[in-house]
A and B are shown apart, each in its own frame.
Chain A
């Protein structure tokens, strides 16, 4: 089965600071998804990356897929309290099975 490792497991940053979350796969990534969740709420789809070197941005969040390294990174610029939550990466192995990382808990201190 495909495994996704996320790092760090938790992150506490001061408002205004930049941060990066990594997601590493044990197998080739055909589709990599990033989600965000707040307590008691459904996961919010952020973006999907499909090709090596692809980079997408959503407001102050940028994600990049490095297919050669089987890794994706999520970068938040000038973090705000609204960015706090749990970030999950998920992957599609083309077998109609989805796999998810364990998540990264982000706290932003005002």
Chain B
């Protein structure tokens, strides 16, 4: 089925480890974004991309890197995991910023 695929669904990291959260969509959407959701704070935008080769920072970009080498993939890299990065991460894609969003099912990350 077409949609946004996020992997892994669950991950436990030790402080200081690095890892990449994968996000792929097969709808040829130009706009992709990463959010984190924390209790009581709602969703916050980490990074977004308006097309291949173009990325920009969102509200909470520190500690995260992204790249967009293809239209389909938008990986999120944690450089050196910290307990403050324990959260649920959502990837989303859209035809355009004013169009509807399609969200992935989320990655629950725990940093110990």
Contacts and interface: CB of A to CB of B under 8 A. Distances in A.
B48 A99 contact: no
A43 B43 contact: yes
Contacts of B103: 99-100
B2 to A, nearest CB: 13
A96 interface: yes
The secondary structure that dominates the B interface is strand
A69 B56 CA distance: 40
B35 A42 contact: yes
B45 A41 contact: yes
A: contact size bracket: 20 to 34
Interface of B: 35, 37, 41-45, 48, 56, 58-60, 88, 90, 92, 97-103, 105-106, 108
A30 interface: no
A1 B99 CA distance: 22
Contacts of A103: 99-101
Contact of A43 (B45, B100, B105): B45
Interface in A85-110: 86, 88, 96-103, 105
A96 B101 CA distance: 20
Contacts of B102: 102
A1 B106 CA distance: 13
Interface string A20-32: 0000000000000
Contacts of A105: 98-99
B35 A43 contact: yes
B105 A97 contact: yes
Contacts of B56: 40
A44 interface: yes
Contacts of B60: 42
B58 A42 contact: yes
Interface in A36-95: 39-45, 86, 88
A96 B108 contact: yes
Top 10 nearest A-B pairs (CB, nearest first) are A45-B42, A102-B100, A42-B45, A42-B44, A43-B43, A42-B59, A100-B103, A105-B98, A103-B100, A103-B101
Contacts of B88: 98
